[in-house]
């Protein structure tokens, strides 16, 4: 089941159609991206949402950090109604993440 929502631009601004209306469309990739980029506490409606990927990008990513990141991503995605099919974040430059909404 695909989620439909307001769409955002690559700069996370509201997207508009050529007619000037708010753009609406399939938003699963956008939801996952926002979930990964935001940190816990940034969503007022649910302060426990967010992975905070930026904190992992700034430091060395050893086996323990990779395991913690993969676990946090899986927990956050499952909490948001996704089933994680693939979760290989050992190399963030070539990360493999595949999830489908249940």
Q: Which residues contact 27 (CB under 8 A, 6 or more apart)?
A: 3, 4, 5, 6, 7
HEC profile of 60-89? CCCHHHHHHHHHHHHHHHHHCCEEEEEEEC
User: Which among 20, 26, 33 is positioned nearest to 6, based on CA atoms?
Assistant: 26
Tens-place pLDDT, residues 38-63: 999 999 999 999 999 988 887 778 89
Domains within the chain, CATH numbers bracketed: 4-101 (3.10.450)
Tens-place pLDDT, residues 7-47: 999 999 999 999 999 999 999 999 999 999 999 999 999 99
pLDDT tier, 1 (very low <50, low <70, confident <90, very high otherwise): low
How far apart CA 96 and CA 102 sit, in angstroms, is 20
């Amino acid at each position: 089941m695909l989620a439909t929502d307001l769409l955002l631009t690559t700069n996370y601004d509201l997207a508009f159609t050529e007619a000037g209306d708010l753009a609406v469309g399939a938003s699963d990739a956008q939801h996952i991206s926002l979930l990964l980029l935001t940190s816990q506490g940034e969503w007022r409606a649910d302060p426990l949402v967010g992975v905070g990927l930026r904190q992992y990008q700034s430091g060395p990513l050893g086996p323990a950090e990779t395991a913690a990141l993969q676990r946090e991503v899986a927990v956050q995605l499952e909490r948001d109604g996704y089933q994680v099919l693939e979760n290989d974040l050992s190399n963030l430059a070539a990360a493999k993440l595949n999830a489908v909404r249940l």
